[in-house]
Amino acid sequence: MKKHDIIIVGAGVGGSTAAYFMAKSGLNVLMVEKDQFPRDKPCGDGQVQSIHPLLKSMGVYDKIEKYGYKCPGTMISDMDENSCVFNYPEGDFAFCTPRYIFDDIINKAALKQGVDYIDNFEVIEVIMERGKAKGIRGIQNGKFVELESNIVVLANGAHSMLSRQMGFYEEDPEYVFYGLRGYFENVRGMQDVIEFHYPDEMFIPSGYIWIFPMSKTKANVGVFITEKSLQGTGMTSEELLWWWRDNKKIGKERLGEAVPIGNLKGWRLPSGNKQKVYGNGVIAVGDAGNMIESLYGGGLPHAMIAGVCAAKACAESIAANDYSEEFLKRYSDYVDKELGTGYKSSEMIRNMIFSSTKDIKDLVEFTNKNLKGVRCSGGDGMGRFLVQERGYKGPTKGVYNK
């Protein structure tokens, strides 16, 4: 096969978004994928409002709107099972779309742009020559295959061995989360809002049970918890879900009569965004670059936006004929410019509210007292709580839009 300017490893949302914008700008790009689309991806299936403009710019918004269930608010419950709801501004909502469908739509959009594509191709190694990435080695139809490129984009998700090879991997147990999700029918008491339940000290910091509705009675339900907290519980993430169902009022209501559809699936979520994600001839996008935020574990918008940044940085790198680490640092700068404020806000809210059950309780109380009938996003509401109730004086951009 001819040499490509860029090889993207992994055709998930991050890889396919990068491929879409690279092909659109006329770059010579190959994307390889170990699976075959449509394929499943364990996820809460929640797609927040911030990603809607990008979906529109890729011409896929209408298709996703067809399949996504709209939730115009966020519910939070505290350890005593008191709850509050943030009703989003008029016309705002989060989508809940199964990743089996969502990722396939993004993947097809990339292929329509004319990306060269090979599926059923598992990359096992980045080929290095004198400290620079030269391409990839993979397995296709049981045979070893080597492919060459000027830049390798690692977009192969949270379990990436290739990120490990490059030293990009996040290992901090306070910033590596475990996520477990299942689909359930006959879920009771849902109100068309995405739900985050903080039922016990053992989930702290920022661990929760989620309920993301897919219809009036069907939901994606899951557990999100740091590796460190999970170790402290002495339970598996699946046991934590059953503990919630059997011991908590809301848990009993939602899941008491619910029927699981298929198996529960668990996954690793590397957050923190602290590692370097560029090297000589190589960059990492999305979960392969630990781009999940550390409050809710959201990572889909981050992977897609990083894909846009990767396309921009790679186009400049190809134009300059410079694939060095120094040149590709700009990729990290672009990611920081697009996502840095959001990461900082998540981290600040994690530390100031979701590291203590008392603060979560106070947030719920404040919201019920002060924000009933007020339309605002969850982040906006939490910003108001920090400023008005806790006297927070730091930067509020991206958190509290006064």
Ligand X SMILES: Cc1cc2nc3c(=O)[nH]c(=O)nc-3n(C[C@H](O)[C@H](O)[C@H](O)COP(=O)(O)OP(=O)(O)OC[C@H]3O[C@@H](n4cnc5c(N)ncnc54)[C@H](O)[C@@H]3O)c2cc1C
**Binding window for ligand X (CB under 6 A); candidates: 18-26, 37-45, 60-68, 389-397:** 37-45
Q: Under the criterion CB under 6 A, does residue 35 sit at the interface with ligand X? A: yes
Smallest gap from Cβ 356 to ligand X, in A, equals 24
CB of 11 to ligand X, least distance (A): 5
- How far is Cα 109 from Cα 136, in angstroms, rounded to an integer? 24
Is 270 a binder of ligand X (CB under 6 A)? no
Please work out, in degrees rounded to the nearest 5, the angle formed at the alpha carbon of residue 64 by the alpha carbons of 60 and 69. 160
Q: Quick one: which of 220, 203, 219 has its CA closest to 43?
A: 220
CA 110-295-312 angle, to 5 degrees, is 30
Tell whether residue 104 is a contact of ligand X (CB under 6 A). no
Contact 34, 154 (CB under 8 A): no
Select 297 or 381, whichever has its Cβ closest to ligand X.
Answer: 297
161: Cβ contacts below 8 Å, ≥ 6 apart: 124
**Which member of 30, 46, 323, 335 binds ligand X (CB under 6 A)?**
46
Q: Which is nearer to ligand X, 68 or 366 (CB)?
A: 68
Binding of ligand X by 32 (CB under 6 A): yes
Task: Output 46 or 342, the one with its CB closest to ligand X.
Answer: 46
Residue from 73, 199, 279, 297 in contact with ligand X (CB under 6 A): 297
Q: What are the E-state strand segments in 68-142? A: 69-71, 73-77, 83-87, 94-96, 116-118, 121-129, 132-140
- Among residues 181, 333, 151, the alpha carbon closest in space to that of 266 is found at 181
Q: With binding defined as CB under 6 A, does residue 292 bind ligand X?
A: yes
Sheet of 176-185, strands arranged across: 83-87, 73-77, 194-197, 208-213, 219-226, 176-185, 259-270
Letters for 105-134 (x = contact with ligand X by CB under 6 A, - = none) are -----------------xx-----------
Task: Tell which one of 8, 11, 23, 221 touches ligand X (CB under 6 A).
Answer: 11
Residue 390 has which token pair? 């806790």
Q: Binding to ligand X by residue 179, rule CB under 6 A?
A: yes
Within 335-394, the residues that bind ligand X by CB under 6 A are: none
Q: Is the Cβ of residue 99 or residue 384 nearer to ligand X in the bound state? A: 99
CA 209/CA 352 separation, integer angstroms: 20
Q: Which residues bind ligand X (CB under 6 A)?
A: 9-15, 32-35, 41-46, 122-123, 155-157, 179, 181, 222, 267, 269, 286-288, 292, 297-301, 303
